[in-house]
Amino acid sequence: MRPLTLLALGLTASLLAACGRAPDLAGSGTTGTLAPQATSGITSFRHPGIALSRANLDRIRLAVQNRTEPTSSGWVRLTSSPFASPAHVARPKSQITTRKGGPYADPSGPYGSGDLEMREDSFAAFANALEWYVTGQEQHAKAAIRIMNAYSEVSPTIDGSNAELLAAHTAVQWANAAEIIKHTYKPTSSPGWTSAAHQSFARMLRDKFYGVIQNFLPDTYAGNWDAAVINAMMAMGVFLDDIPMFNRGWDRYMGTQGSGALQNYIAPVTYEVAETCRDQEHAQMGLGYLAGAAEIAYNQGSDALYSAHEYRLLRGYEFEANYILSRGQSATLRRCPASKTQPLPDDIAKVRGDGIQRYPVWEIMHNHYHDRRQFNTTYSRQIVLDVRARLGGEGYNHTLLGFGTALYARPTTP
């Protein structure tokens, strides 16, 4: 891998020195210039094309058939999940009320009506849709359809203190499941996913999910909330063939408004992630949502989000990975609010003891920057390889698409 010139990156030696351990942007497949930084989104859609394009789906299927690592081990993790079973039973409710702090906020009390159930059901729909394509077993397609229909028949209303987060998290799962089924499942011996059922599901997403997130969130909210909304808006835009919806998410990502906008969530020069001072779980979540949005854009034919603002997303990932791996010693945090000059004591203890959970957000960026673009991802790659070695790959998380090793990992490379 050869490094891009400093001139091509628009960086000076003094700026690199100020950055400290900035990511080493290197690649044999680059031209030495930055990719065009589009600001107006797209004008047509490719299907399937949300988290996975048809080429990606075919790659996963071939890797599973040939037991190619690390995809094969990642696939075992995914299919071992209880939510990947075609026997999964949906549990929709007409009114879904979230609790502050998410579904696990109060272990001594109720989770919030329907919150946890919809997170699990939406992932079950996605897992079964993916399994249908990879294995060709119709029972999985029928399961995905059954779960989606159960929710569209109820068309739940989402409210509560975390309504925007729940709507965003699950909309990504729902849209991905629906995208795969709509564009790949064409049975000849059964109706499949009927036009009426598909239209009912589309109305549910537009009215009950987009309706909750359409105004984004005030800057006073943590950036991962806004980033989650960006990701969901782009995902739903593709499935719904709604270019204005998709481009609203795109413009939010690329622009200056919102705490989840790329250039606001990851600082210039230092590349510190906005929520690193809060805790590493939320910092990873925010990065994962932004990477999810960038991957959708890539599957629609544009590298603009991945390369935006001089590869700011890659630099933020590398900052966060280095901070975790160095147990908080790689940087003095500069983005803490005035009332909080350092992370909370429990987060400091986890960082120093290397007790930070690795969220399933690393394979997606590693696939793009290291494998597609041939960039050096020094610190992020260490996390990817560690998770593969210890766990067999990334797993489930109730706030993210998850299982990145199954979805994005390429054959093992140096």
Per-residue pLDDT of the chain (414 residues; tens, 9 = 90+): 434 332 233 333 333 333 334 455 544 333 333 344 455 689 999 999 999 999 999 999 999 999 999 999 999 999 999 999 999 999 999 999 987 666 555 544 455 789 999 999 999 999 999 999 999 999 999 999 999 999 999 999 999 989 999 999 999 999 999 999 999 999 988 889 999 999 999 999 999 999 999 999 988 899 999 999 999 999 999 999 999 999 999 999 999 999 999 999 999 999 999 999 999 999 999 999 999 999 999 999 999 999 999 999 999 999 999 999 999 999 989 898 766 667 777 787 888 778 788 999 999 999 999 999 999 999 999 999 999 999 999 999 989 999 999 999 998 654
E strands, 148-288, in order = 157-160
In this predicted structure, what is the pLDDT of residue 13?
33
C-alpha–C-alpha distance, residues 242 and 222, integer Å: 27
Query: Is the peptide bond prior to 86 cis by the omega test (within 30 degrees of 0)?
Result: no
**How far lies 410's CA from each of 69, 227, 365, in Å?**
8, 26, 12
DSSP string covering 270-320, please?
A: T--BTTTTT-HHHHHHHHHHHHHHHHHHHHTT--HHHHHHHHHHHHHHHHH
CA nearest to 162, candidates 120, 121, 125, 113: 113
Q: Domains of the chain: which residue ranges?
A: 81-213
Number of C-alpha atoms within 13 angstroms, CB side, residue 81?
26
For residue 406 the two structure tokens come to 């199954």
Using DSSP, state whether 21 is helix, strand or coil: coil
* Cβ neighbours around 209 below 10 Å, total: 23
As given in the structure block, the two tokens for residue 394 are: 């990334």
Q: Which H or E element spans position 97?
A: strand 95-98
Helix (H), strand (E), coil (C) string for 30-71 = CCCCCCCCCCCCCCCCCCCECCCEHHHHHHHHHHHHHCCCCH
pLDDT of the residue at 29? 32
Coil, strand or helix at 247: helix
Determine how many CB atoms are found less than 10 A away from the CB of residue 3.
15
Q: Which long-range contacts (CB under 8 A, 24 or more apart) does 107-113 make?
A: 112/160, 112/162
Contacts 24+ apart (CB under 8 A), 252-255: 252/216, 252/226, 253/290, 253/293, 253/294, 253/305, 253/308, 254/37, 254/38, 254/39, 254/304, 254/305, 254/308, 255/39
Average pLDDT, the chain: 88
Backbone φ, ψ for residue 98 (5° rounding) = -90, 165
- Tokens found for residue 181: 């089924």
What is d(CA 132, CA 122) in angstroms, rounded to the nearest whole number? 16
Residue 49 CA from chain centroid, whole number: 14
Q: Which two tokens stand for residue 228?
A: 């989650």
Residue-level pLDDT at 341: 65
| Length of the chain in terms of residues written | 414
Residue 210 to residues 184, 207, 253, 326, 397, Cα–Cα distance (Å):
25, 6, 17, 40, 22
Beta bridge partners of 327: none
At residue 326, φ and ψ (nearest 5 deg) are -85, 5
Using omega within 30 degrees of 0 as the cis cutoff, is the peptide bond preceding 48 cis? yes
